[in-house]
Amino acid sequence: MTAEAQGDGPVLSVEGVHVRYGRRTALDDVSFSLPRGTVYALLGRNGAGKSSLVRCALGQQKPRSGRVRLFGGDVWRRRSDLMKRVGVLPEEPDAPPTMTASALASFSASLYPRGDAAGVRARLERTRVPVDVPFGRLSKGQKGAVMLALALGHAPDLLVLDDPTLGLDVVARRLLYDELIGDLADRGTTVLLTTHDLAGVEALADRVGILNGAKLVVDEPLDELKGRFRRIRSAGLSSPAGLDPFSAIAVNRREWGIEAVVSNFDEERLERFRAAHPEADVEVGSLSLEEIFVALLGDEEAKV
C-alpha cells in the first residue's frame, strides 16, 4: 500500500498542469498540493483558470500536459473509483427540479459506500430547509444548503466548493459558512474552495493560492501571506526609491509622504529601513486578504 493510500501523502497533488483553449493559455505549469485537513482557497479574477483547474482536479478535464493525483491515484484514469471519496458543491445548484430534498438524500446515499441519507435530512432540518418541497421551488440559498448537505452526506475525504456563495444574500451566505465551519471543526475535512468572497473565506482558509496570467503566483499559508504583506506609511519619504529594502507592489504619493504595500515585510527589514531613514515617521499596518488580492491583481502585470 502506498503512503498516499495510508493517508500520509497529500490528498490532492497538481503537478505541472498546462491547459490551453485554442491559442489561449488557461493554466501554465501550475503545481500545488493539499495536505490532509487543509482548507485551500483558490483565488483569481474571472477567467484566471480556477474552473479549469477544478475540472482537472476532479478528472473532468485532461490537461494538455502535467498530472493530477487524487489520494495518490491518477484522477484521469481512476476517476470513477476516486470520486467516491469526494464531495462537490458546484457554482450553480443543479438537481432534478421535481425531486424533494428528502428524495435527493436517499438517491445520493445509494451512490456512495458511506452515504447517509438520515444525516443529510438532519443537516437540512437544522438549517430549516424543507425536505418535502421540490428542489425547483426552493430559494437559491435553500438550494445551496441542499447541495452542501448532499456533498457532505457521504463523509468525503475531500470537499470541493466552486464559488459556493455566488448570488446568495448575506443571511444565506452566513448560514452556509457556519454549517461548513462546524463540519470542518468536527471532521477536519480537506477542502478546495474557489470564491470571490474574500472576506468570508479569510475565516476558513489556512492556505491560499492565487492565479494570475495563467500562473499560480501565490501558494502559501494564509498567516505567512498576511505576515509578509504590509502597508507602510512614511511621512518623511518623498520618493518610492527610498523604500529599499522593501519590495513595493503598490505605491501612492500622498501630500504627507509615501504609502506603499510591500510583499517582503519582516522586522529585520523594518529596522534597516528605519536606520537608513531616521528622519522618517514610519507606520506599519496589516492587510486583509482582500486588500492583498487587490494590491497584487489591481494591475494586470502585478507579480509577487
Q: What is the pTM of this model?
A: 0.90
My answer on whether 182 and 127 are in the same domain is: yes
pLDDT score of 72: 96
Q: At which of 221, 240, 259 does a domain end?
A: 221
Stretch 263-277: mean pLDDT: 93
- Asked if residue 63 is part of any domain, the answer here is yes
CA atoms of 199 and 289, how far apart (whole Å): 7
- Asked if residue 291 is part of any domain, the answer here is no
Radius of gyration of the chain from its Cα atoms, rounded to whole angstroms: 22
Q: At which of 164, 186, 221 does a domain end?
A: 221
The closest alpha carbon to 180, from 149, 140, 135, belongs to: 149
Please report the sign of the dihedral spanned by the C-alpha atoms of residue 96, residue 102, residue 107, residue 111.
positive
My answer on whether 61 and 170 are in the same domain is: yes
pLDDT score of 277: 85
- Asked if residue 86 is part of any domain, the answer here is yes
CA atoms of 79 and 91, how far apart (whole Å): 21
My answer on whether 278 and 167 are in the same domain is: no
CA atoms of 103 and 51, how far apart (whole Å): 29
CA atoms of 47 and 296, how far apart (whole Å): 16
pLDDT score of 139: 92
CB 86 within 8 A of CB 32: no
My answer on whether 99 and 235 are in the same domain is: no
The closest alpha carbon to 260, from 210, 269, 122, belongs to: 269
My answer on whether 157 and 264 are in the same domain is: no
Stretch 129-154: mean pLDDT: 94
Peptide bond between residue 245 and the one before it cis (omega within 30 degrees of 0): yes
pLDDT score of 1: 35
Say whether pLDDT at 252 is over 70.
yes
pLDDT score of 83: 95
CA atoms of 11 and 39, how far apart (whole Å): 11
pLDDT score of 299: 55
- Asked if residue 80 is part of any domain, the answer here is yes
Number of domains, the chain: 2
Stretch 238-253: mean pLDDT: 86
As beta bridge partners, residue 216 has 211
Stretch 185-214: mean pLDDT: 90
- Asked if residue 294 is part of any domain, the answer here is no
My answer on whether 67 and 211 are in the same domain is: yes
Q: How far is CA 127 from CA 39, 119, 144, 243, 244, in A?
A: 23, 13, 11, 51, 53
CA atoms of 144 and 150, how far apart (whole Å): 10
Please report the sign of the dihedral spanned by the C-alpha atoms of residue 293, residue 165, residue 10, residue 214.
negative
Residue 32: helix, strand or coil by DSSP? strand
Q: If you count them, how many residues does the chain have?
A: 304
pLDDT score of 302: 39
My answer on whether 136 and 244 are in the same domain is: no
- Asked if residue 302 is part of any domain, the answer here is no
- pLDDT tens-digit series, residues 271-294: 999 998 888 889 999 999 999 999
CATH number at residue 207: 3.40.50.300
Task: Name the band, by pLDDT with cuts 50, 70 and 90, for residue 87.
Answer: very high
Buried b (16+ CB within 10 A) or exposed e, 73-99: bebbeeeeebbebbbbbebebebeeeb
My answer on whether 11 and 93 are in the same domain is: yes
CA atoms of 166 and 255, how far apart (whole Å): 40
My answer on whether 217 and 234 are in the same domain is: no
Alpha helices in 58-128 (DSSP H): 79-82, 101-109, 117-126
By mean pLDDT, which of 1-10, 140-149, 195-204 is the weakest?
A: 1-10
pLDDT score of 237: 80
More confident residue, 270 or 166: 270
Domain that holds residue 234: 230-286
Which triple of cell numbers denotes residue 210? 492565487
My answer on whether 146 and 251 are in the same domain is: no
Task: Name the band, by pLDDT with cuts 50, 70 and 90, for residue 3.
Answer: very low
My answer on whether 213 and 112 are in the same domain is: yes
- Asked if residue 191 is part of any domain, the answer here is yes
- Asked if residue 295 is part of any domain, the answer here is no
The mean pLDDT value of the chain amounts to 90
My answer on whether 89 and 214 are in the same domain is: yes
